[in-house]
Structure 1
Amino acid sequence: MSVQDVAAYTSLTPDFWNKLRCDGGGPRYFKISARVVRYRRSDIDDWMVERARLSTFQEAPQ
């Protein structure tokens, strides 16, 4: 999935995904070339599941 595809899939902006990738802590991605990044849908889904919470008192993932 392209960054634009991931943004549409998650309702988050491409800027969010670009910043997350630069800052670290996001899902695995593939650097195809200097300007092409791709994600697997399963990696996006796994990353989101890791962030599921039942309460605001739960700790965030490291």
Structure 2
Amino acid sequence: MTATVAPSEWLTARQAAAYLGTTPHHLGVMRYEGRGPKWYKPTGRMIYYRRAEIDAWIEGGDARQ
């Protein structure tokens, strides 16, 4: 019996960029400009995204910005 591991709900900025098919730099530009999916910065320099919020952002049509 093999167990399947569910993907993490939280993604780092690098993982989120890969998920979106873009670069971490471009994702950073979108953050700076106030565009893109909602992001969280709980401490220091770490930035996280919720996978469900990325999907909602894509489905909402805002991905073309």
TM-score range, shorter chain: 0.7 to 0.9
Whole-angstrom distance in 2 between the partners of 1:48 and 1:5 = 16
Q: Which segments of 5 or more consecutive residues in structure 1 lack a partner in the other structure?
A: 53-59
1:8-42 CA distances to partner (integer Å, 9 max, x unpaired)?
11111101110100110221111122311100000
Q: Higher relative CO (CA 8 A, sep ≥ 6), structure 1 or 2? A: 2
**Alignment partner of 1:32 is 2:42:** yes
TM-score normalised by structure 2 residue count? 0.72
Q: For residue 12 of structure 1, give the secondary structure of its aligned residue in structure 2.
A: coil
TM-score normalised by structure 1 residue count? 0.76
Q: How many residues align?
A: 54
Which position in structure 2 is the counterpart of 1:42?
A: 52
Which position in structure 1 is the counterpart of 2:13?
A: 3
Q: Which runs of 4+ in 1 moved over 2 A?
A: none
Could you say what the CA RMSD is over the residues aligned between the two structures, in angstroms?
A: 1.8
